Structure formats: C-alpha cells, structure tokens
Amino acid sequence: MARLLAKLEGPAQCVLRRSCFVSRRGLVTDAEVHGTGFLTNRVWDAVVVGGGHNGLTAAAYLARAGLQVAVLERRHVLGGAAVTEEIIPGFKFSRASYLQSLLRPALIQELDLARHGLKLLPRNPASFTPTVDGQFLLMGPDPKLNEAEISKFSKNDAVAYPKYEHMLEKFCTVMDPLLDTVPPEAAVGESSFAGRVADGWSKSKVLGSLLKRSSKLKQHEITSFVELLLAPASKVLNNWFESDVLKATLATDAVIGAMASVHTPGSGYVLLHHVMGETNGSRGVWSYVEGGMGAVSTAIARAASEAGATLATNVEAKQFLVDNESSVGKTISGVVLADGTVIRAKQILSNATPAVTFLKLMPENVLSEDFQNSVKSIDYKSGTTKINIAVDRLPMFRACGRTDNTVGPEHYGTIHIGADCMDEIDIAYREALLGRASSRPLIEMTIPSVLDQTIAPPGKHVINLFIQYTPYDLKTGDWQDQATRDAFAKTCFDLIDEYAPGFTSSIIGYDMLTPPDLERILGLTGGNIFHGAMGLDALFLLRPLKGWSGYRTPVKGLYMCGAGAHPGGGVMGAPGRNAASVVLKDLMRA
C-alpha cells in the first residue's frame, strides 16, 4: 500500500489506475437473504455507510486504489435518491432525482461508466413553458430556436439571451474546477513540519488557481459575477430581460429543490449551479438516463464491484464505534448494525446527512457540545414534493393545438407549469412559509419515456412531477393523512388540466413523496434533497461547517462523502470522489 501511494502525484491522480480485484459476490449482496456474517470476517480498510451514488463513487475509487471496501445500504436497492423503482407494474420511475447534467466528466471517464452501461439521452428542445393565455415558449440548445421563440415575447430579450448564456458559461469556467477540488481546509492534527508545508502548499495552489481564473474576467464581468453570487435571482433576471414568461422559466432553476424565493438574496448563485453541468461535452445540457436515474448508480456500482468492493443492501447502520483511548485521540473503529452485528473498519465514510452522521450514528459524549450545536444549526428546510405518475397517453397541451396523442417538441424537455411570472413563484413560496402547501404550486414536469423506451409499456408513459412548495410541517392537516395527500395531488393534477385538458383522466396510478416521505424513505433530513441548503453561507469552506469543509471530521478515520459536504447536492459524484482522494492522501501520510 505504501509503495502504491508513494507513486501518486496528487489526490486527483490517485484514482486513475484500474484495480485487478474482482468481487466474488457479484454486484450486490442482499443481507436479508444472506445475513451479515460475510461483513465480519475481516477488518475492512474502509466501510461506506450509505449506498447512494456518492457513497458508491467513493467506494469505487478506494477499491481501485487497492483497499478492501464495503458499502452498507439500508434499503433493498442501491442508489439513494438516484434510483429506479418499478412502483407500478410495467412502469419504472426515477423515484427521486430525475435528470442528469451535473455528473462530473472526470468521474464518467475514470470509472468508464459508458462501459458499465451508462447511456445519456440529451433533450432537444430542453424546455417548454405554456401560459394560461394559450401561448408557449420553447427553448433548447438550438440558438435559432431560442431566438425565434423568445422573439414572440420580446425582440430585446431574443438579442440579450445569447449574451446571458455566454456570461453564465464564462462564470462557469471560474467556478467549475472548484467542484473537483478539496476545499483548502487546514489538515486536522497535522504536527510535522513536512505535513504543514504540504498542507500550506495545497491551500495556496487551490486559492492561486481560483485567483488566476478570476483575473481573466474584465472589471464589469467581475461586478456581474459578484452580483450573480449575492443578489436575488429576480434582480439578476430583471436586469437582463423584460419578458415575464422568459424570466419565470429561467427563475425556476434558482429555486428548484430549495425552500427559497426568487427574491431571496443569493438565489442567483443557484442559477449558475444548474448550468455548470454538461451532457456528452455540451455545457448546460440536461439529459435523461436510459433505464432511469438508477442506471447512474448501477454503473458506478458495477465499477466499484469490478474493482473489488463489496456492496450490501438491507444493511442498516445503527451506531459508530469510537475508540476514546486511542493514542491519537478519538478514532473510528467500526460500526454496529441494527441487528447487533459489529463490523470493524480502519476508516468509515458517511454518505448520510450531517445530522444523521453526527446526531444519530455518533455515540454520546464523543463530539463537543459546540460542534453538535453547529450541526443542529444546518438548514434542512424543504419545500419539495415528487410525484411519479403512470399514464395511458401523453398530455396534449392546449397551447400547441394538437389532440392526436403523438410526441411533439413540447414533450421532450422540462415542462414548466404554474408560474407565468416570477411573482407567482414568490406567492407560492410565501404560502409555504405560512405552513400551507401552495394553492398554485410550481411544477416541473418531465416525460422521460418519450426518449427512453425501456421504462414504460408501449403507448404508455412515465411522468415526473417535481413540485414546490410543500412545507415539511403543515399548519392544517398532516402529510401522513391520506385525505391531505389526495387533496394536494388533486391540486397538482387540476393545475395541469388547465394547460393540458384531460390529463387527470389519463392517470393509471401514482407515487407521491412529500418532505417527510423523502426523509423516512431516503434518509434526507427534513426532506432536503441537497443534504442541507445551498445558500452562500453553506458552500465551499462553509460546507457542512466552518472549519470542517475538507471531508474529515472530529473523529479520526471518519469522513463525510455525501451531498452535505462540498460541493453539495445534485447527482454529481464530486463529494464521493473528493472524499476518497482525502482518505488516500491521509493513508499516504500515515
């Protein structure tokens, strides 16, 4: 191991070689069938708690570096929020996450995910916004389409839009490399002179690189960049455009998944976060994944298994084991499962939220009161509900004037329903602040089965509804009450009927995940899909906590590898990849 690690040039390079190890147990071992004894026959080099895509990513890189790695997943299926499930017979739903763009290109290449079955399906057009007065806006990667469509509402906006896109792309060149970078946090417990020098050089390199990229911006661009980071999305968009429908369409990217308004300071950054991704090298293009989003996790799991990682489902971690008598301070030594099984490990990586990691899995009296209080202060508010629907025909939108049940350009991309202007988004948000589900919710509808023939029976379709705003706690009613759930589902379906008459009658069945459901089923504290809010006060050196942004924790050998760590939420794999590089770097120093 020491010889292998000595050859590494840096954290990003330590994961490039392919391991010769092959898992003897296949892709996944179901502990409900085989028991947990196979996990107790060794002291593992690393155990990953949580088999979401970030945990699987970390496991793949660690196994490729020669470590003996086990992944423990509480549910019956790997993938966390990036999972495909057949809830209704014949219909395969991307049950939580539903689109791909943010998955890091380096990860796709290094783990050879295409060979492991990952197939991306780009969408063109990418966006369709019908209005209540019967108009519509189509947008996508085709500049000519965008110009023609935006011109229907504003000639000035048609001219401004390419400049706006260019601005965001330029800012992405500054920010994008940070996603694959370990925050320049001081190494905890580093006492040697050589270690301090290496740590200082690493921090200087990161900050120097950021400064160099930023210096290429002109003065007016720097001003615009700062405004984008700090201002409300509404202010940014009002400065650029005059058309309400265009601004409302773009504004959804600023609030999607967040309990925030378009008027919330800092929401402009989320506009940038959602265009940092790419599909097959095309910046800002979002795609479906053949087989659903679970195919992302499956491809990563195959890479991890091929490298020698052991992947186990139906295994629930109950509590970490911590050695308080270690000569180097409090040190992780293993994990106790819900069935009482003890698994020993030299390192543990938690793919759970910070709240679950430090407040539920950690034994009492291990962490300081100050640290625990900081964890409790993390913002997990959620306004998100996901409804997965099986239908017997496509929705026919009144604005398009077609009734022939055939696929049109309006069906390929994200369909924005419920807000013709930014103020309507804000009204929906303010209702949720008062403890009420929005009476006219903001809905992002996608129909992946128009491009993916593997997820629905012929002639039928899978529809995803990503809905805001639905508070975790309702002032009146309860999300566990079926009447409350049915009433909100009807509100959403009735709203869609306004734009696509007859939609409700096409529904065969549906599955609804409110914020408490997302917490209970997927382990997302508060139902927050990002493992914690993505405000500027919770990014980079401040994620998950000030002083602990580098994936390490106060317990030696315990690391964070989920979306609660830098760079945050979305199906990107960066937290898992970065965390694995830190583990390997620490092993090299040991």
Same domain assignment for residues 328 and 391: no
Q: Using alpha carbons only, what angle is made at residue 232 by residues 229 and 234, rounded to the nearest 5 degrees?
A: 125
**Cα four-point dihedral sign 203, 204, 207, 213:** negative
Q: Hey, what long-range contacts does 135-143 have (CB within 8 A, 24 or more apart)?
A: 135/245, 135/399, 136/397, 136/399, 136/400, 136/410, 137/245, 137/246, 137/249, 138/409, 138/410, 139/249, 139/413, 140/413, 141/282, 141/285
Q: Indicate which CATH number applies to the domain containing 436.
A: 3.30.519
Give the per-residue pLDDT at 22. 37
In this structure, the answer to whether residues 341 and 463 fall within a common structural domain is no
- Checking if the pLDDT of 310 tops 50, the result is yes
Residues 6+ apart with CB under 8 A from 369: none
In a shared domain, residues 494 and 414: yes
- Tens of pLDDT, residue by residue over 242-258, are 999 999 999 998 898 89
Window from 93-97, 189-193, 265-269, 348-352 with minimum mean pLDDT = 189-193
The span from the CA of 279 to the CA of 291, in Å, is: 16
Report yes or no on 299 lying in a domain.
Answer: yes
Q: Is the pLDDT of residue 341 over 80?
A: yes
Give yes or no for a contact between 346 and 43, defined as CB atoms under 8 angstroms apart: yes
Q: Is there a contact between 433 and 144 (Cβ–Cβ < 8 Å)?
A: no
For residue 198, the SS3 value is helix
Residue 235: which residues within 8 A CB-CB, separation 6 or more? 227, 268
**Among the ranges given (11-20, 63-72, 288-297, 473-482), the one the predictor scored with the smallest mean pLDDT:** 11-20
What's the rounded mean pLDDT across residues 472-486?
96
Residue 545, pLDDT > 70, answer yes
Are the C-beta atoms of 390 and 510 separated by less than 8 Å? yes
Q: What percent of the chain has pLDDT over 70?
A: 91
Both 300 and 249 in one domain: the answer is no
Residues 412 and 511 placed together within one structural domain of the fold: yes
* Gap between the Cα atoms of 305 and 315, Å rounded: 17
Run of H or E including 221: helix 219-230
The CA–CA distances, whole Å, from 227 to 162, 262, 590 equal: 19, 14, 44
- The count of other CB atoms within 10 Å of the CB of residue 158 is 19
Q: What is the pLDDT of residue 565?
A: 98
Q: What are phi and psi of 158, to 5 degrees?
A: -65, -35
Label residue 187 by pLDDT band (50, 70, 90). low
- Which residue type occupies 233? A
Any domain includes 142: no
Q: Give the burial string for 417-455 (b: 16+ CB within 10 Å, else e).
A: bbbbbbebbbbbbebbeeebbbebbbbbbbbbbbbbeeb
Assigned domain for 143 exists: no
pLDDT exceeds 70 at position 203: no
Q: Per-residue pLDDT tens for 40-78?
A: 999 999 999 999 999 999 999 999 999 999 999 999 999
In the predicted model, what is the mean pLDDT of the chain?
Answer: 90
Q: What is the pLDDT of residue 9?
A: 34
Say whether pLDDT at 190 is over 60: no
User: What per-residue confidence (pLDDT) applies to 253?
Assistant: 87
Amino acid letter, 489:
A
Model confidence at 4, pLDDT cuts 50, 70, 90, reads very low
Same domain, 374 and 384: no
**Is residue 410 a part of any domain in this protein?**
yes
- Indicate if the alpha-carbon torsion angle 70, 372, 322, 543 is positive or negative: positive
pLDDT tens digits, 155-179: 999 999 999 999 998 888 888 889 9
Residues 175 and 199 both lie in one domain: yes
Does residue 260 form part of some domain? yes
Please check whether residue 129 lies inside any domain of the structure.
Answer: no
| Structure-derived torsion over alpha carbons of residues 345, 547, 381, 85, reported in degrees to the nearest 10 | -30
Kindly give the interhelix angle for 53-64 and 574-589, rounded to the nearest 10 degrees: 40
Q: Average pLDDT in the 418-435 region?
A: 96
In this model, does residue 3 exceed pLDDT 50? no
Buried b (16+ CB within 10 A) or exposed e, 134-150: eebbbbbbeeebbeebb
Q: In this structure, what DSSP letter does residue 101 have?
A: S
CA distance 185 to 472: 34
Q: Is 275 in the same domain as 407?
A: no
187 lies in some domain = yes
**Band of the pLDDT at 15, cuts 50, 70, 90?**
very low
In a shared domain, residues 93 and 73: no
Task: Please give the pLDDT value at position 186.
Answer: 67
The Cα 492–Cα 504 span in angstroms is 10
Are 221 and 316 part of one and the same domain?
no
pLDDT tens sequence across 491-530: 999 999 999 999 999 999 999 999 999 999 999 999 999 9
Treating both helix axes as pointing N-terminal to C-terminal, what angle do 233-240 and 422-433 enclose, rounded to 10 degrees? 170
pLDDT digits (tens, 9 = 90+) for 371-399: 999 999 999 999 999 999 999 999 999 99
- Output 279 or 538, whichever has higher pLDDT: 538
DSSP state for residue 369 in the 8-state scheme: H
Residue keyed to tokens 């330590």: 14
Q: Enter the pTM of the model.
A: 0.93
User: By residue range, what is the domain housing residue 77?
Assistant: 2-81+295-378+533-589
CA distance 300 to 19: 15
Is the CB of residue 233 less than 8 Å from the CB of residue 262?
yes
193: confidence class by pLDDT, cuts 50, 70, 90? low
Domain end (from 283, 314, 335): 283
Q: Quick one: 266 and 368 in the same domain?
A: no
**Same domain as 440, residue 482:** yes
Q: Are strands 282-283 and 461-468 parallel, antiparallel or unpaired?
A: unpaired
Query: In b/e form, how buried is each residue of 494-506, taking b as 16+ CB within 10 angstroms?
Result: ebbeebbeebbeb
123 three-class SS: coil
Tally the domains of the chain: 3
Rounded distance between C-alpha atoms, residue 308 and residue 17, angstroms: 13
Q: How far apart are CA 458 and CA 477, in angstroms?
A: 39
CA distance 117 to 466: 26
Show the tokens assigned to 64.
């490729």
- Which CATH number fits the domain that encloses residue 356? 3.50.50.60
Q: What is the chain's length?
A: 590
525, 549, 581 — which closes off a domain?
525
Domain-located, residue 144: no
Q: With contact defined as beta carbons under 8 Å apart, do 304 and 314 qualify?
A: no
Residue 516 C-alpha from the chain's centroid: 18
192: which residues sit within 8 A by CB, 6+ positions away?
Answer: none
